[in-house]
Amino acid sequence: MFLHKQLANGLTIIAESWPDAHSIALGAFIKSGARDDALGGSAHFLEHLCFKGQLGQSAQQVNAAFDAIGARVDAFTTQELTAYSAATLPQFQTDLLEKLTGLLRPALRPDDINVERLVILEELAMYRDDPSSVLFDAAQASFYQSHPLGRSVLGTQASLEQIDSGVLKSYLHDWYAPNRLTIVACGRVDWDALVAEGSKLTADWQPSIVQRQYPPLTPSTEGQHLTLSAARAQAALLMPGFAGNDPRCVTASVLAQIIGDANSRLYWALVDDGLCDEASLEHTSEDGSGAFYGSVSTDADDLPEALERYRSVLRDVQENGVTANELSRTKKKLEVSLALRFETPASRLLTLAEDWLALGEYRSVADLLEEVQSVTLETVGALLATRPFDQPCITTLEPVQR
């Protein structure tokens, strides 16, 4: 059963009730991420600081409080959202909600900010040591150019050094406002108690007038060439896709699986004979945009051939389509994957939240399965007629010559 309530201050509470579940998963989801962060790194920085505690509370006390109810809290920041979630036993629902909402009002003490800046700078340094991460950031920046979707979640050393309590308080005020927040519950939910406690805990929270910006997006076809200390050469191929509210995004995801999942066109063309150790394609849907993201890993000397084979696969699919057998197999794999993925409240929570934040609507697991089942050779053909693979933006990374 799906339940929904919007409070007077704009805060939204939704729940998918499973009366027979043995647990409850709760999440606080902020519709704000790297794309809404003009400085760069503020959204992610604030996520870290939310675990440092409110006034009169230490980080150790925050963690001990979650431990006391057996809840292991998780948090992350993406281009689109910032999430805080945990699962526990149903009798601790109110305690968990209190602790999650408490995270969203951190003290932002100067000492905590200075310490966490060093932690994030170290995280950034580790990120730069990972060739795949460096490639992904560079490919995003090349494809999106100055568009907000091209921003790095971590930011840069220069932007991190500019972040102070004033920047963080402003971001907290603008984006952690109740009208940007959705409380999501899944499992054995006490709905009346959830609404009552959510209303009480956020009674003095004020809405914000800030709005997400949607500047025009003209994806670039000009990639970059990088050199880095790495064992293998890699490449990323980005191509225009379909936004989350575009009905074609489901077909795009199915098509990407046919081309670039296990036992896919790319596997048999590039991986099976040992040319590449990895060749994949996936489709991601964002708020107002979307993209096909392809990747290749191979020996440096073989990169030109690997890219040519990869593009040949894309050309063949775009010109000749896919087979009924490929479509049937892929749909069945996706249906089983969806069914297995959502067998617990904790595993279901994120997709439930993402659908609501992106679309403003509820989609049950049955709805998701039906969307996959509705993909046909005709819908795939209509998507391919838009010629999404004509001009990929290709960014390459090769090992430094020794």
Query: pLDDT per residue over 68-127, tens digit each?
Result: 999 989 999 999 999 999 999 999 999 999 999 999 999 999 999 999 999 999 999 999
**211 in a structural domain:** no
Q: Looking at residues 176-180, what average pLDDT do you find?
A: 97
- Residue 221: is its pLDDT beyond 90? yes
How far is 84 from 64, CA to CA, in rounded Å?
16
Are 7 and 93 in a shared domain?
Answer: yes
Q: How far apart are CA 247 and CA 375, in angstroms?
A: 10
Q: Same domain, yes or no, for 242 and 176? A: no
The predicted structure's pLDDT at residue 229: 85
Indicate whether 130 pLDDT > 70: yes
Helix H or strand E encompassing 89: none
User: pLDDT band at residue 402, thresholds of 50, 70 and 90?
Assistant: low
Domain count, the chain: 2
For 10-69, write each residue's pLDDT tens digit. Answer: 999 999 999 999 999 999 999 999 999 999 999 999 999 999 999 889 999 999 999 999
The per-residue pLDDT for range 335-369, each reduced to its tens digit, is 999 888 888 999 999 999 999 999 999 999 999 99
Domain boundary among 201, 236, 264: 201
Other beta carbons within 10 angstroms of residue 247's beta carbon come to: 10
Asked, for residue 218, whether it belongs to a domain, the answer is: no
Instruction: Give the CATH number of the domain where residue 249 resides.
Output: 3.30.830.10
- Asked if pLDDT for residue 128 goes beyond 70, the answer is yes
Q: What angle do CA 30, 34, 37 make, to 5 degrees?
A: 95
For residues 173 and 238, membership in a common domain is answered with no
Radius of gyration of the chain (CA): 22
Task: Tell me the residue ranges of DSSP E strands in 287-340.
Answer: 289-298
For residue 230, count other CB atoms closer than 10 A to its CB.
20
Calculate the alpha carbon distances from 201 to 96, 103, 153, 294, 380 in Å: 12, 12, 29, 44, 47
Measured between alpha carbons, how far is 120 from 229 in angstroms, rounded to an integer?
Answer: 22
176 and 27 belong to one structural domain:
yes
Q: Evaluate whether residue 176 is within a structural domain.
A: yes
Residue 383 lies in a domain: yes
Q: Would residue 219 count as lying in a domain?
A: no
The Cα 229–Cα 317 span in angstroms is 35
d(CA 115, CA 105): 19
Are 25 and 169 within one domain? yes
Cβ 201 vs Cβ 93: under 8 Å = no
Token reading at 82: 């910032």
137 and 68 inside one domain: yes
In this structure, is residue 95 part of a structural domain? yes
Domain annotation covers residue 212: no
One domain, residues 13 and 123: yes
Statement to judge: residues 246 and 383 lie in one domain: yes
Mean pLDDT of 218-239: 94
* 177/249 same-domain check: no
22 contacts 188 by C-beta, under 8 angstroms: yes
**Is 235 within the bounds of a domain?**
yes
393 and 332 both lie in a single domain = yes
**Domain assignment of residue 256, given as a range:** 225-399
- Please tell me the distance from the alpha carbon of residue 307 to that of residue 237, in angstroms, as a whole number: 9
Of the three residues 166, 201, 236, the one that is the final residue of a domain is: 201
For residue 339, what pLDDT is reported? 86
Query: Are residues 194 and 136 part of one domain?
Result: yes
Whether residues 157 and 245 fall in one domain: no
Domain final residue, candidates 133, 168, 201: 201
Average pLDDT over all residues of the chain: 95
